[in-house]
Amino acid sequence: MRKSSLIAAAAATFAHVTHGLSLPKGRHEPRVLGLETQRRAPRNPVHRDKLRKRDTLEVGLDNEETLYFINGTVGTPPTSVRLHIDTGSSDLWVNTPASEFCTSASNPCAYAGTYSANSSSTYQYIASNFNISYVDGSGASGDYVSDTVTIGGQTIGRLQFGVGYSSTNGQGILGIGYPLNEVQVGRAGLQPYNNLPAQLVADGVIQSMAYSIWLNDLDANTGNILFGGVDTEKYIPPLMSLPVESASGVYAELMVTLTRLQLGEQIIGSPDLAIAVLLDTGSSLTYLPDPLVSDIYAAVGAVFDSDANAAYVPCSLARNASAPSLTFTFSEPSITVEMNELILDLVTASGRRPTFDNGSPACLFGIGPAGAGTYVLGDTFLRSAYVVYDLENNEIAFAPSSFNSSATRIAEIGRGRDAIPGATRVSNPVKATEGLRGRNAKKSTAVAGPGSGGMGIMIACVAFVVAVAGVVF
């Protein structure tokens, strides 16, 4: 999960739409587990607004406001929690109500719910070595415990998760990446435990450690995640699969190889890229190599703000029918992201929106420079794709998203090779030559955070930095 700056206020503008996922009923019901995902609006917009004015970067550490969440319960009796869904990490953790952070005056954990171990009759203590930190410097530490967890109407009798006795996030996180990337492995040197996808398999709820995520477009507030299945009505065929990139033969992160990036007719960077990119629902923005980002900014006229490590464009670009779209190719399959999916509104709670010097409204551009950090395809990319993550076979399948599709036809993901229904394997997948790091790089606090990630682009965009002084908040 790589959070980015300045998104917080954007959420205020998102409409509230809810439509449930319907699973086929009857005797031949596939073994899948579907959950609706949702973006949320700020809890205390005025407060957030003030914070943002005081220190842009600090609020940038807390862009949880626009990330996708699901509802669940923990413990007995069940208490409700909402959890960010994060393909970029592998641990589930929740806040405890008594922590210093949660008891602070603004009551920052109340909206998302908390878990009180001693109030749960099914609580079991595991160890005190839970400690996760994300690239933005936020994190949580405390105990690993196990307890009953319910998501999408499915009860998991016993699931290991972390309890944040100390934390800096008001909302817990549901990491669904490879078990090898759990902090228990990376930090405590222990064997992996069954995280949620693995436990669903162990409990026989689904056949294989695989799931599909459909975020839907920027104007929609809900999408869904389907464990153990593919909804063939949510994408535009063909669905094509390619191998996950491994680091020294170890599969620990959901990375694939990006081989070409094209803005309209213009190829950005080399026509033969081979860079490993992390598919990360826990990141609002997309982070690419600085030179590529610099080229994109130049082509779309984006103005870079080095403090926020983000760039602005005129909001009108989202309504410009002749604006180019950005196409990402992965050996064979391509995902085209329309310009309007890359432009995020920054209307503040007080109703103000940032403007350029000439008074025209400024919007946040959905791509930032990765600097020394991991290359990440975040929500600004992922909304345009239907993505199947097959952790059992180390494969990812892509197809363009079918926006707003209300139809549903669910096929179960079975076991063994070619388990993803309807997917065609790419015949000659390119191996990444750049962007692969050692395991757990993403969670190490040593990895560049949002603040330091932009050094390269700061230099590349000196002219823009001057111009951005003219963005008025």
Ligand X SMILES: *[C@@H]1O[C@H](CO)[C@@H](O)[C@H](O)[C@H]1NC(C)=O
The residues of the shown chain that bind ligand X, judged by CB under 6 A, are 18, 36-38, 70-71, 117-118, 131, 133, 141, 217, 219-220, 316, 320, 322-323, 403-404, 445
Tokens of 180: 């090898």
| Shorter beta-carbon distance to ligand X: residue 68 or 375 | 68
The catalytic residue among 91, 231, 280, 305 is 280
- Give me the torsion for CA of 23, 24, 26, 29, rounded to 10°: -80
- Give me the torsion for CA of 409, 224, 183, 448, rounded to 10°: 120
| Shorter beta-carbon distance to ligand X: residue 26 or 265 | 265
The catalytic residue among 62, 86, 136, 231 is 86
Distance CA 366, CA 328 (A): 14
Please say if 91 is a catalytic residue.
no
Owner of token pair 């998501």: 151
**Residue 198 main-chain phi, psi, to 5 deg:** -70, -40
- Give me the torsion for CA of 304, 310, 315, 316, rounded to 10°: 50
| Shorter beta-carbon distance to ligand X: residue 38 or 63 | 38
CB of 453 to ligand X, least distance (A): 19
Angle at 446 between CA 440 and CA 452, to 5 degrees: 120
CB of 217 to ligand X, least distance (A): 5
| Shorter beta-carbon distance to ligand X: residue 319 or 431 | 319
Distance CA 159, CA 424 (A): 34
| Shorter beta-carbon distance to ligand X: residue 121 or 316 | 316
CB of 428 to ligand X, least distance (A): 32
Identify the burial level of 140 via C-beta atoms within 10 angstroms of its C-beta, where 0-12 means exposed, 13-18 middle and 19 or more buried: buried
CB of 53 to ligand X, least distance (A): 29
Which residue, 275, 233, 235, 228, is CA-closest to 255?
A: 275
Pairing mode of beta strands 275-279, 286-288: unpaired
Please say if 280 is a catalytic residue.
yes
Counting every residue written for the chain, the total comes to 473
| Shorter beta-carbon distance to ligand X: residue 133 or 148 | 133
CB of 143 to ligand X, least distance (A): 7
Q: Give me the amino acid identity at 416.
A: G
Nearest position to ligand X, beta carbon: 219
CB of 446 to ligand X, least distance (A): 9
3-state secondary structure of 382: helix
For residue 25, the 8-state DSSP code is P
Give me the active site residues, please.
Answer: 86, 280
